Chains A and B, each alone.
Chain A
Amino acid sequence: MTTVEEGSYEKFLPEGIPSSQMPFWESLRAHDIRVQRCDRCGTYRYHPKDACPSCQSRKATWAPLSGRGTIYTYTVVRRAPSAAYASDLPYALVHATMDEGFRMAAGVAELNINDLRIGMPVRIVYDDVTPNWTLFRFTST
């Protein structure tokens, strides 16, 4: 995938991410996705959270993921939020249930939107959109 200079990327980049959540974004940048996992009860936390929804422990480890899951739901966007996204239309947004048991949402890569089905297996790939920011996307397995 093509990387562009920071200044010329016109889609939305993450803003206001607290330092406590940066390990997630750094893991994407390293192409080694990691998600908080509760040190006390093992529950995964995504999006990152201060406290575990199961046991309220504030302690967690950034745990690696299989990167595999199945589509829980999806949509195909045909009206973009801004001009920068309009050139991609139509594009898909997928919510997948990861093999570890929680959901993650992302766009897709190298996947025909007409082939999308709930229940379809997907895996994570990385998209280095700028020198500082990497996103993940879902593609078919």
Chain B
Amino acid sequence: MGELHEAAVAGIYQSEQGDLSTRDQAEVWWEAAEGACRDAGIELADIDGLVGNGPAGIGLRSHMPGAGLAEQLGHPLRFHAKSETGAGSPLAGLNLAAHAVTQGLADAVVIVNAVAGAGEGYTSSDRDTSVAAMAKLSGPYEYVYGTTRVADYAVFAMRHFYEFGTSSAQLAEVAVAQRHHATLHPLSVTGRRGDITIDDVLESPMIADPLHLYDCCIINQGAGAMIVTKATQVASLGRHAAVVLLGYGEGHSHLDPNSMPSMTDCPAAKLAADTAFGMAAVRRDEIDVAGLADHFTIGVILGLEDAGFCGPGEGGSFVEGGGIGLDGHLPINTSGGHLSFSHAGFCGIFTAIEVVEQLRHEGGERQVDGARVGFVTATGGAQQAHAAAVLARA
């Protein structure tokens, strides 16, 4: 049986990002799956494994996404699995797909995140509908008081400011760097609006103290897809450098912030990162490019600390002066991330795809010179479930 790193991301695809409310979810799902197959140099008919959701079905039958896809591919699927970790699901899915491929359970596994159509709840393109639905993610013991997802992260930021002297200007550095990255990505939602400054962030409306509008992720629809095969197949097709999974880890923490021992460091996030780095036998200072979960700017600062790129409380100074820009000490979220590229559905897939593009050296104007080893995290909920992966150019 094979090792994890014998599996590779063979194909990637990202659709238009923004308001896809006039399109059908299933149509966008197929566009993404087909696009990732084309990128990988395989046919849709070659898919024999599915991780996560298929094209949306109707009723309870849609709870068997493997069966739903198989009847349209015209042959039985050999593998289906799903990880329920919200935004982190696709990164957790990459691990499941890599296991399936290396254990001989499938040869070509597709992972798709597709959000389109009128949408209900948090998949809606309508901001008010989406914000109201996400408010209830915090559960009845808190949502009765009018919590929002922004407020859930705002209390983390407020405590971080108190314990470590982190500032709004430091949070703004994250938004500014990532917006610049987005201006270099043709598919990004905010790139066409141009660069922003630290003052722009600080002068944007306060949403939940201390988080301003530009500290928050965007709300949009869109799709992304990945195909996972054996690395040897990617090499033999010769279309792209194979990007392999060197290490992977998870950390499941809590459902409610009340149950977190601390709001400024997260043992589960550390566990995920330590497991991934340990499995990969890679040091933090060997990482050339990273994608860190950034539902809010404070998420990147917490992520840097929990993943061990700096010490506790040092995330604010790490990001200062363009620290996470393309010329910084660690380029992060080089597509613009959830703040500026896309935050559609299980948005962790976009974070991972960007790191894959960087390791393939297909980043265009955003390319980090000579990137060979990347680190990716994905976070579900308010620091609730964490996935971390070390990816490398084979």
Q: Are A95 and B208 in contact (CB under 8 A)?
A: no
Per-position contact with A for B135-149: 1 when CB-CB < 8 Å, else 0?
Answer: 110011111111110
* Chain B interface main SS type: helix
Given the interface contacts A107-B145, A135-B144, does A75 sit within 8 Å of B131 by beta carbon? no
How many cross-chain pairs have Cβ atoms below 8 Å apart between A and B? 106
B136 surroundings in chain A (CB, below 8 A): 12, 81
A118 surroundings in chain B (CB, below 8 A): 158-159, 162
Q: Are B146 and A77 in contact (CB under 8 A)?
A: yes
The 8 Å CB contact of A79, one of B131, B145, B158, B258, is B131
**Closest beta carbon of chain B to A113's beta carbon, Å:** 9
Given the interface contacts A72-B159, A75-B155, does A82 sit within 8 Å of B135 by beta carbon? yes
A72 surroundings in chain B (CB, below 8 A): 159, 263
Q: Judge if B151 is at the interface, Cβ distance under 8 Å.
A: yes
Question: Whole-angstrom distance between the alpha carbons of A46 and B139 in the complex?
Answer: 13
**Closest beta carbon of chain A to B263's beta carbon, Å:** 6
CB nearest neighbor in B for A108:
B145
Q: Judge if A13 is at the interface, Cβ distance under 8 Å.
A: yes
Question: Whole-angstrom distance between the alpha carbons of A99 and B137 in the complex?
Answer: 28
A88 surroundings in chain B (CB, below 8 A): 146
Q: Are B131 and A74 in contact (CB under 8 A)?
A: no
A95 surroundings in chain B (CB, below 8 A): 155, 257-258, 263
Q: Judge if B238 is at the interface, Cβ distance under 8 Å.
A: no
Q: Are A14 and B144 in contact (CB under 8 A)?
A: yes
CB nearest neighbor in A for B254:
A53
Q: Are A76 and B209 in contact (CB under 8 A)?
A: yes
Interchain residue pairs A-B with the least CB separation, the first 6: A81-B135, A75-B154, A14-B140, A73-B159, A107-B145, A85-B146
